[in-house]
């Protein structure tokens, strides 16, 4: 009897699990800094200097005064930003060198002068690396040694200003923070590594590339990979749409699923609604996706539907925050 009961329970679990499938899809996240669609060529300005990005000398490092890690990071951040713009496949960047003639009396970049030069060079907008702040890993060396860690973290934050030539619009003091892990091994001491001027410059430049790539990616929409689950059984429409969802044919999947939107059995109708939420998210219709996910959670009450609803709501909150911040600028 116990064996029979175990087989029945196992069969039910197998049936339930086989009704769902998982896959990875890409979803489009809007640009953190929304530029006009005709903004294609970006002039990249490195305005990080010893004055606006000073680095405090580190007592434990003998030659710390010989290298401003912030300035070294900025040099490589330019390359990171150019790489990010190339990855957009819709924009490109070019280095725009500046000198004293490009500043106004207050020491700020004179966008009027730069706009006239931009027209000559076919530049649609500028990204100014305005400041970089880094935190040396030396302060945490003792803790790292005590806990047996084999990496020291070099942390940095970059601040940028963005200017659109055609509209004169400015987006100021946007920032990004990244961390570079400096590998150590055996008896290697992080202070000894940082006392090697060449290696220290390499560490800061590696961090700078990451910072530049991060802020460069903020000015255009990005596609990110996310994991999703969906139902493969329940109603005829759910079964017919499963391959469409798998292949990312969102529009056709939605039209197919809508045939069973009012399916007479509540539990199976919830599966239709759940998959409709997926199809709408895949099309970038986040508000509609949330509505379908809410209905699926309410009618089916499953943990999967509730978890998915929370994911969608979190995405919505993040996008709203981006819009609010851009409106404030």
How far apart CA 126 and CA 163 sit, in angstroms, is: 5
Same domain, 211 and 235: no
Range of the domain at 249: 228-328
- DSSP readout, 108-137? SB-HHHHHHHHHHHT--EEEEEEEEEEE-G
- The verdict on 48 and 181 lying in the same domain is yes
Is 17 a domain residue?
no
- Is 24 within a domain? no
Q: Residue 151: its pLDDT value, please?
A: 59
| Residue 12 belongs to a domain | no
Q: Write out pLDDT tens, residues 238-259.
A: 999 999 998 889 999 999 999 9
Return d(Cα 280, Cα 291) in angstroms, integer: 10
Vertex 300: Cα angle to 18 and 10 (nearest 5): 35
Q: How far apart are CA 286 and CA 246, in angstroms?
A: 19
75 and 193 share a domain?
yes
**Percentage of the chain modeled with pLDDT above 90:** 59
If asked whether residues 280 and 143 sit together in one domain, one would say no
- H-run or E-run covering 271: helix 266-282
The reply to whether 28 falls in a domain is no
Using DSSP's 3-state secondary structure scheme, residue 30 falls into coil
**Comparing 321 with 150, which gets the higher pLDDT?**
321
Say if 311 falls within a structural domain. yes
- DSSP per position, 296-329: HHHHH--HHHHHHHHHHHHHHHHHHHHHHHHHH-
Q: Identify which has the larger pLDDT, 90 or 197.
A: 90
What pLDDT score was predicted for residue 12?
A: 37
What pLDDT score was predicted for residue 123? 97
CA nearest to 167, candidates 304, 272, 37: 37
Q: Assess whether 145 and 274 both reside in one domain.
A: no
**Mean pLDDT, to the nearest integer, of 191-217?**
88
Mean pLDDT in residue range 196-215: 91
Asked whether residue 32 is assigned to any structural domain, the reply reads no
Residues 202 and 242 in one domain: no
**187 & 277 share domain:** no
- CATH assignment at residue 317: 1.25.40
In a domain? residue 7: no
Q: Strand 20-29 and strand 151-164: pairing? A: unpaired
- Strand, helix or coil for residue 261: coil
Task: Tell me the average pLDDT across 297-309.
Answer: 91
Q: Which residue has the tokens 């490195």?
A: 46
Q: For residue 65, give the DSSP letter.
A: G
Residue 203 is encoded by which pair of tokens? 């560490």
pLDDT score recorded for residue 153: 83
Among the ranges given (10-14, 57-61, 116-120), the one the predictor scored with the smallest mean pLDDT:
10-14
Mean pLDDT score of the chain: 85
Residue 185 has pLDDT above 70, yes or no: no
At residue 95 the predicted structure's pLDDT band, cuts being 50, 70 and 90, is: very high
Q: For strand 151-164 and strand 125-135, is the pairing parallel, antiparallel, or unpaired?
A: antiparallel
- C-alpha to C-alpha distance for 196 and 205, rounded to whole angstroms: 14
pLDDT at 157: 96
Same domain, 161 and 55: yes
What is the H or E stretch that residue 210 is in? Answer: helix 197-216
pLDDT interval class at 4 (50, 70, 90): very low
* Structural domain total, the chain: 2
Take residue 77 and report the two structure tokens written for it: 């951040």
Domain boundary among 188, 219, 250: 219
In a domain? residue 240: yes
Distance CA 39, CA 166 (A): 9
Residues 182 and 53 in one domain: yes
My answer on whether 243 and 209 are in the same domain is no
Is 179 in the same domain as 50? yes
* 137 close to 60: Cβ distance less than 8 angstroms: no
* pLDDT tens digits, one per residue of 130-168: 999 998 765 444 444 444 555 578 899 999 999 999 999
* Domain match, 236 and 113 both: no
**In whole angstroms, what is the distance from residue 235 CA to residue 271 CA?**
8
């Amino acid at each position: 009897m116990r064996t029979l009961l175990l087989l029945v329970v196992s069969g039910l679990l197998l049936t339930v699990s086989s009704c769902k499938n998982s896959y990875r899809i890409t979803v489009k996240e809007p640009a953190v800094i929304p530029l006009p669609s005709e903004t294609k060529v970006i002039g990249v300005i490195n305005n990080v200097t010893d004055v606006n990005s000073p680095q405090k000398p580190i007592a434990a490092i003998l030659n710390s005064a010989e290298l401003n890690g912030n300035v070294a990071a900025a040099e490589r951040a330019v390359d990171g930003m150019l790489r990010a713009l190339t990855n957009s496949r819709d924009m490109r960047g070019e280095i725009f060198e500046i000198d004293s003639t490009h500043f106004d009396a207050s020491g700020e970049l004179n966008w009027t002068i730069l706009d006239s030069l931009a027209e000559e060079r076919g530049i649609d907008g500028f990204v100014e690396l305005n400041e970089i702040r880094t935190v040396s890993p030396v302060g945490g060396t003792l803790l790292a040694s005590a806990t047996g860690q084999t990496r020291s973290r070099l942390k940095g934050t970059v601040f940028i200003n963005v200017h659109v030539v055609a509209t004169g619009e400015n987006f100021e003091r946007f920032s990004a923070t990244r961390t570079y892990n400096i590998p150590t091994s055996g008896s290697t001491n992080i202070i000894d590594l940082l006392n090697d001027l060449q290696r220290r410059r390499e560490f800061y430049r590696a961090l700078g590339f990451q910072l530049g790539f991060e802020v460069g990616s903020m000015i255009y929409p990005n596609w990110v990979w996310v994991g999703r689950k969906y139902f493969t059984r329940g109603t005829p429409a759910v079964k017919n749409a499963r391959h469409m969802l798998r292949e990312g044919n969102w529009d056709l999947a939605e039209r197919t699923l809508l045939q069973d939107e009012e399916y007479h059995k509540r539990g199976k109708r919830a599966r239709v609604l759940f998959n409709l939420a997926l199809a709408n998210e895949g099309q970038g219709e986040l508000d509609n996706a949330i509505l379908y996910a809410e209905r699926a959670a309410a009618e089916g009450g499953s943990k999967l539907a509730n978890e998915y609803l929370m994911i969608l709501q979190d995405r919505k909150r993040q996008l709203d925050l981006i819009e609010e911040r851009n409106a404030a600028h």
